[in-house]
Amino acid sequence: MVRARKKMQVAKNRKHGKKGSRRRVHLSDHEVELMRVLHEEFPRGHPQHLGHLRLARKFGVSKEVARSLCRYIYRAFRSA
């Protein structure tokens, strides 16, 4: 008895385009400043407060990147 082999299906990575590699999202300085303003606009616990996860989804970055930007870990503006 010979079993028919199933043909392997290759999942196409449509999310990352033709190259198949992740493209890094670059936010402008204006977008970073807007993210920080939106985060600090309402205190935590307020119904309209935008947390790190909501900001990450809105700007298309990961939660960790949003957290780091809001805490001034990334792009801390240095005095000249």
C-alpha dihedral sign at 40, 45, 49, 51: positive
Let me know if residue 60 belongs to a domain.
yes
In a domain, 42, yes or no: yes
Would residue 13 count as lying in a domain? no
Distance between CA atoms of residues 15 and 21, nearest Å: 10
Q: Across residues 6-13, what is the average pLDDT?
A: 52
The whole domain housing 48 covers 29-70
Per residue in 40-70, pLDDT tens? 999 999 999 999 999 999 999 999 999 999 9
User: pTM for the complete prediction?
Assistant: 0.63
pLDDT at 79 over 50: no
On whether residue 21 sits in a domain, the answer given is: no
The domain tally of the chain equals 1
Under 8 Å between Cβ of 66 and 52: yes
CB distance 22 to 60 below 8 Å? no
